[in-house]
Amino acid sequence: MAKEPKKVEDLVSDPASIEIIQKSQKDCVETCFTRADSQSVSCKFGTQGICCKICHMGPCKITPNGQRGVCGADADTIVARNFLREVAAGTAAHSDHGRHLVLRFKKVAEGKEKDFKITDEKALYRIAKEYGLETEGKAVNALALELADLFISEFTSQEEDLKTLELAPEKTRAVWSKYNIAPQGVDRMVVESMHRTHMGVDHDYRNLLDMAFKTSLADGWGGARIATEVSDIMFGTPEPLRSSANLGVLEEKKVNIIVHGHEPALSEMLAAAIHDPEIREYAAKAGAEGVNLAGLCCTANEILMRRGVQVAGNFLQQELAIITGAVEMMVVDVQCVMPSLPNVAKSYHTEVVSTTDIAKTIGATHIAFDEDHAYNSAKDLIKRAVDNFKNRDPQKVQIPKFKEPLIAGFSVEAIKYMLGGTFRGSFRPLNDAIISGRIKGVVGIVGCNNIKTKTDSYINALTKELIKRDVLILQTGCAAQASAKAGKLTPETALAEAGPGLREICETVGIPPVLHMGSCVDNSRILEAATQIVYEGGLGDSLAQVPAVGVAPEWMSEKAVAIGCYFVASGVDVILGQPFNIGGSENVTKYLGEEAVKRFGGGFHYIPDPMAAVEKIMEIIDAAREALGINKKTERKLLDMKDRRNLNV
Ligand code: BF8
């Protein structure tokens, strides 16, 4: 019997998405929501990870009557190999993004780039110093060149461990050495993962899963962190700023351009070029009141964090943005871009433009980003979008009224500054707040939307309940955009919804209880923040001791698998709202769960219900607080002005 289609209100949480899905039905446009219905039940061999198509004697599957594939591989081997391949793909995605930025950074240092520059020299000197480079008396470009070469060697090193690992607490590094999971060069880790999962190589599920942890560390502490650091140096370290989120950021009288994907270089240029007087004039001539740039997914996060560019939506809103009928151009690059976009665009006037030669889509216009003339090529794209304005059909335009204000831009540097000011910027006040129990712990809520969950619902329920229980939330990726759309990224939320301890800190410092730290590669900022907490003192000497938990409530991508693994290998428990495809092997499930907790101090927990996740998170935080000896009852009193001045935050 055919499945009853779900009600729109059961598919998505925010009113703008509800409105536009209803429009898609009226316009007879197929979206991921309709395709999900036609997908019916997922293949059980796939979801359990026991389908092996690594060689061509198969595909083989594990069944009660066939406990081994043709070659003899059992469920443990097959599940672990599939898992490692996912981690390798996720690591490759983040890291290739990082590599592209480093190669550009090197050209900037060599003076070969005219449109890109080093925007944040302070960040350059700080980061170079962290990596052990001599910075005294060095000229900006000379130092940048040295750092670029060091970063490139993080990709290519063959036998040396990643330099970045030295930035982790010593005790955490000792665990990596003990279990032989300290990674060498990022490229080598990905290649070795592919080799070891080839037919007839590595068959021990434990060895394969250790390689998954090792490879993921090359992502979080290597490729992804480098992507964040180079972006900060070239485009500026984020500082708190105001913006808004949801489809209501589109403007009826302006040319709307949406940037979607991940790498920030082109979107930075577009963000600069829309203010060019020539562009303004060009738009006016076309009868538009200007050009409005908005973002989707992680490109949105990148230019939101640094420039305050508004967010049109998160992952499952990419087709919906086009269905508003008000988008002249959607500029895409890599990752999380649905191949369906040109098909959706056919029903409207939107032009989908792919901009990188490694990511093309049938039906999209391909205009490779001309790096040597970056600013002019950004201007040309904008003009092309303006030219398309006349093709907009007013009958098809429906821009939802919904958008929410937000504050984003919480880099680790910015948090330090907020906590302590220019002269005594440090994590001390945060550590003290955790030690005193005003803040119980810190939870990173990260990752995607997944069609299997009502969009944003798990993220929103979890966030709401945790702040009520005095937990400070750090967010990235589409999860941060979910909170933005729900209005949770404003300090006012703290007053209204946070528990008394968290509220007191947020009011004093002037931060929201939910801090937007950036895109998915910026999960490295969360690791950095946890490291700062350790270095600040009083909360243990390894990441595993900090009362902190990671959650990927609605994850869907291989990158999220890699992220989860590097959090776990760094000692942080990770709650998954969606399961891994590993249910076909009890041994693999145990190794990633209980066994990882024993070895690293953190493991994976699959908890489909957000309220059950809250209980587990509080249990983990309480246990960490107990082990640190700080789990005493907090004395609560209302503060007068004198108390406030004396407050150590
Ligand atoms: O890297 S959170 S859907 S956009 S994978 Fe993709 Fe997931 Fe969004 Fe950014 Ni991250």
pLDDT in tens, 495-550: 899 999 999 999 998 899 999 999 999 999 999 999 999 999 999 999 999 999 99
- Whether 557 is in the pocket of ligand 1, judged by its Cβ within 6 Å, is yes
Alpha-carbon distance 55 to 51, whole Å? 11
Are residues 547 and 602 part of one domain? Answer: yes
Same domain for 510 and 390: no
Q: Which of 96, 219, 335, 521 to mutate to test the pocket of ligand 1 (most atoms within 8 A of CB)?
A: 335
Which residue, 244, 322, 352, 355, is CA-closest to 21?
322
Atom of ligand 1 nearest to the CA of 521: 1
447 C-alpha vs ligand 1 centroid, how far in Å? Answer: 6
pLDDT score of 424 more than 80: no
Pick the closest to residue 215 from 188, 178, 179, 177 (CA basis): 188
Centre of ligand 1 to C-alpha 19, Å, is 23
CA distance 255 to 274: 10
How remote is the CA of residue 582 from the centroid of ligand 1, in Å? 22
Atom of ligand 1 nearest to the CA of 555: 7
pLDDT score of 294 more than 80: yes
pTM of the entire predicted model:
0.95
Rounded-to-integer distance, Cα 425 and Cα 423, Å: 6
What distance in angstroms lies between residue 314's CA and the mean position of ligand 1's atoms? 8
What distance in angstroms lies between residue 145's CA and the mean position of ligand 1's atoms?
31
Ligand 1 site-directed mutation target among 446, 559, 563, most atoms within 8 Å of CB: 559
Distance from Cα 431 to the centre of ligand 1, integer Å: 30
Q: Which burial class, exposed, middle or buried, applies to 178 when counting CB atoms under 10 A from its CB (0-12, 13-18, 19+)?
A: exposed
Looking at the structure, tell me whether residues 223 and 284 fall in a common domain. no
Q: Domain for residue 552, yes or no?
A: yes
- Structural domain contains residue 470: yes
- Residue 506 is assigned to a structural domain of this protein: yes
pLDDT grade for 362, boundaries at 50, 70 and 90: very high
Distance from Cα 100 to the centre of ligand 1, integer Å: 18
Nearest ligand 1 atom, CA 446: 2
The strand order across the sheet containing 471-475 reads: 514-516, 471-475, 441-445, 548-552, 573-576, 604-606
Q: What is the pLDDT of residue 421?
A: 67
Does residue 378 form part of some domain?
A: yes
Same domain, 99 and 177: yes
Find the mean pLDDT for residues 188-206.
98
**Tell me: the pLDDT tens digits for 202-233?**
999 999 999 999 999 999 999 999 999 999 99
Q: Which of 91, 448, 563 to mutate to test the pocket of ligand 1 (most atoms within 8 A of CB)?
A: 448
Residues 225 and 133 grouped into a single domain: yes
Q: Which of 336, 338, 526, 555 to mutate to test the pocket of ligand 1 (most atoms within 8 A of CB)?
A: 336
Evaluate if residue 582 carries a pLDDT over 50. Answer: yes
Find out whether the beta carbon of 478 lies less than 6 Å from any atom of ligand 1.
yes
Q: Is the CB of 315 under 6 A from ligand 1?
A: yes
How confident is the model over 45-59, as pLDDT tens digits? 999 999 999 999 999
In a domain, 163, yes or no: yes
Query: Is the minimum distance from the CB of 559 to ligand 1 under 6 angstroms?
Result: yes
Given this model, what pLDDT does residue 462 score?
98
Q: How far apart (Å, rounded) are the C-alpha atoms in residues 644 and 418?
A: 16
Q: Residue 329, SS3?
A: strand
User: How many Å lie between the centroid of ligand 1 and the Cα of residue 479?
Assistant: 9
Q: Which of 520, 493, 305 is nearest to 411 (CA)?
A: 305
129, 255: one domain: no
- Which atom of ligand 1 approaches the CA of 556 most closely? 7
Distance 474 CA to ligand 1 centre (A): 16
Residue 646 has pLDDT above 60, yes or no: no
Q: Is 422's pLDDT higher than 80? A: no
Looking at the structure of the chain, the number of domains it has is: 4
* Distance from residue 520's CA to the centre of ligand 1 (Å): 6
Q: What is the 3-state secondary structure (H, E, C) of 361-415?
A: CCCCEECCCCHHHHHHHHHHHHHHHHHHHHHCCHHHCCCCCCCEEEEECCCHHHH
Report CA(89)–ligand 1 centroid distance (Å).
Answer: 14
> Within this chain, do residues 448 and 597 fall inside the same structural domain, yes or no?
yes
Q: Does 607 contact ligand 1 (Cβ within 6 A)? A: no
pLDDT band per the 50, 70, 90 thresholds, residue 649: very low
Give the percent of the chain with pLDDT over 90.
Answer: 92
242 falls within a domain? no
Regarding the beta carbon of 313 and ligand 1, being less than 6 Å apart is answered no
Give me the CATH number covering residue 178.
1.20.1270.30
Same domain, 442 and 587: yes
Residue 17 Cα to ligand 1 midpoint, Å, equals: 18
CA of residue 90 to ligand 1 center, whole Å = 11
Does the CA dihedral 152-156-159-162 come out positive or negative?
positive
Residue 292 sits in the same domain as residue 210: no
Pick from 201, 235, 269: which residue ends a domain? 235
Residue 402 resides in a domain: no
C-beta of 298 in contact with ligand 1 (< 6 A): yes
CA dihedral 529, 532, 536, 542 (to 10 degrees): 100
Q: Express each pLDDT in 146-178 by its tens digit.
A: 999 999 999 999 999 999 999 999 999 999 999
- Vertex 446 angle, CA 127 and 454, to 5°: 160
Asked if residue 376 and residue 299 are part of one domain, the reply reads yes
Question: For the domain that residue 571 is a member of, what is the CATH number?
Answer: 3.40.50.2030
Q: Which numbered atom of ligand 1 lies nearest the CA of 314? A: 8
Q: Are both 392 and 411 inside the same structural domain?
A: no
- Say yes or no: 450 and 582 in one domain: yes
Report the 10 Å Cβ neighbour count for 269. 22
| 3-class secondary-structure state, position 30 | coil
Please report the pLDDT score of residue 371 as a whole number: 82
- Cβ(448) – ligand 1 distance below 6 Å: yes
The Cα–Cα gap between 141 and 16 comes to: 47
646 within a domain of the structure (yes/no): no
Structural domain including 47 reads: 8-61
